[in-house]
Amino acid sequence: MAFKTEYQLTESFLLKVNQLLDSYIEYGLHTQSEVRAPGGIPDYVIYRSIGNSIHYLIAIEFKLKNWHRALEQAFRYRNFANEAYVILDKETSNSAKENIVLFKKANVGLITYDTSDSIEVLNFPIPSTPFSDEFSREVASEIISTNIRTTDDLPFIRTARGGYKLSRLRQLELLA
């Protein structure tokens, strides 16, 4: 059975994921919905912070059907995120699965989810440094509400290594 609205898809998935992420808060993992960012507003972000700096950020775009638009949006999120994912309703994801090579080429993750709480990870992106210092700084400022004045104050640590704890999520049953 398919989700009727994108809101239902999002809320159902986040309910499941937030239960898992709550156990990782001691590692500095946090989440936020609808973060204003240059070039778009990700539906959801997961990030690791230490003090007033963000060391790793994952941006997520949810869509019921339009996987091509979601892929374009998620690719733009790579301007400020270490990883970007598209999460689709499993019932309407066949076309995206047939075009998995586009997700791999864009280095964007693809996950399907259904009403029975079944999660299927079809593509894990390779963790990478965000494309833009400026966009990373803007998003970090939005998230931590800090006034950034110089690059010395950059609250987003531009590294793919900061995702060590986040990459451990892949080993859990939720994303296995």
Please state, in angstroms and rounded to a whole number, the distance separating the CA atoms of residues 49 and 102.
31
60 versus 154: the higher-pLDDT residue is 60
Domain that holds residue 27: 6-175
pLDDT of 33-77, one tens digit each? Answer: 888 888 888 999 988 887 778 888 999 999 998 999 999 999 999
In-domain check, residue 1? no
Percent of the chain residues past pLDDT 90, beyond the cut: 38
164 versus 78: the higher-pLDDT residue is 78
**Dihedral sign, Cα of residue 14, residue 63, residue 43, residue 169:** positive
Tell me, what's the pLDDT at 66?
A: 92
Q: What CATH number does residue 39 fall under? A: 3.40.1350
Q: Is the pLDDT of residue 11 over 80?
A: yes
What strands, in cross-sheet order, belong to the sheet with 29-33?
A: 29-33, 44-50, 53-63, 83-89, 109-113, 119-123
In-domain check, residue 136? yes
Question: What confidence category does residue 94 fall into, taking pLDDT thresholds of 50, 70 and 90?
Answer: very high
104 versus 38: the higher-pLDDT residue is 104
| Alpha helices (H) in the chain, listed in sequence order | 6-22, 67-77, 94-98, 100-106, 133-144, 164-167
* Max mean pLDDT range (31-35, 78-82, 117-121): 78-82
Tell me, what's the pLDDT at 100?
A: 96
Please state, in angstroms and rounded to a whole number, the distance separating the CA atoms of residues 115 and 41.
25
Mean per-residue pLDDT, 134-139: 86
DSSP state of 24: T
In-domain check, residue 148? yes
The model's pTM is 0.80
Question: What confidence category does residue 25 fall into, taking pLDDT thresholds of 50, 70 and 90?
Answer: low
Task: Match 């400020």 to its residue by tokens.
Answer: 80
Tell me, what's the pLDDT at 175?
A: 45
Tell me, what's the pLDDT at 160?
A: 52
In-domain check, residue 57? yes
Mean pLDDT of all residues belonging to the chain:
80
In-domain check, residue 13? yes
In-domain check, residue 105? yes
Q: How many domains does the chain have?
A: 1
Tell me, what's the pLDDT at 159?
A: 53
39 versus 82: the higher-pLDDT residue is 82
Please state, in angstroms and rounded to a whole number, the distance separating the CA atoms of residues 118 and 157.
34
Backbone angles phi, psi at 75, to 5 degrees: -65, -40
